[in-house]
Amino acid sequence: MSTESGRFVSISTLPSLQVRQAKVIGTAFFDFSPYVTEPLYTSGITWFIFADSIFDRFYSTYRFKENTLSISLAEAEAGYDRNYRIRFRIGKMNASQFKWFLANMVYLSEIPNDKWMLLWHGWGDGKVLVRTVPGINFTLNRGDVIILEVKPLAPAVNFVRFYFITDLIGVPRVT
């Protein structure tokens, strides 16, 4: 802002949004075979749930204010160490949807589309890589959870690995 005397006056504004590359790399290996064998595999299913406290990690690690995060890019991979076919979906639930999920998960063959915000899905043999479409953002509010649903389409042995890399857009804390 220019004044008549030619000096510039700086105007304090709210902190601008910042993008940080957040890397959440998860690995989990476990043997599914004691529980799921042919022909029972169709009712075997695994959910990985990133709960509220993961976002606390985001806030503290990347020094964002504790309100909401907007995610602009994410990738995840799931698979077997063998070339078995799986279906892989990622979605977001709010607190009330997650409460419903916990009460009803034993009856679900998969999460109904009206009970979460389906973000990405895919299927493949051996492993599945899914990533967001560029330009598609979604916002995480406090209490939201992200769920990775991995459903085997063949007998499952020696499960699974995944990673979750994301661009976070948040408001930085003022120090």
Partner 1 sequence: MPVKIIIRVPKGKKVDKSKLKVSGSLVVGDTVIPVTEKDVEVVEAG
Residue from the set 15, 19, 31, 126 that interacts with partner 1 by CB under 8 A: 31
Residue from the set 17, 19, 51, 136 that interacts with partner 1 by CB under 8 A: 51
Does residue number 103 form part of the binding site for partner 1 (CB under 8 A)? no
Does residue number 23 form part of the binding site for partner 1 (CB under 8 A)? yes
Residue from the set 1, 11, 25, 133 that interacts with partner 1 by CB under 8 A: 25
Residue among 51 and 95 whose Cβ is closer to partner 1: 51
Most distant CA atoms of the chain, gap in Å: 84
Nearby residues of 71 by Cβ (< 8 Å), 6 or more positions away: 132, 137, 138, 139, 140, 166, 167, 168, 169
Structure tokens at 52: 């509220």
Query: Minimum Å distance from CB 135 to partner 1?
Result: 25
Residue from the set 19, 30, 99, 141 that interacts with partner 1 by CB under 8 A: 30
Alpha-carbon distance of 91 to 157, in angstroms, equals: 24
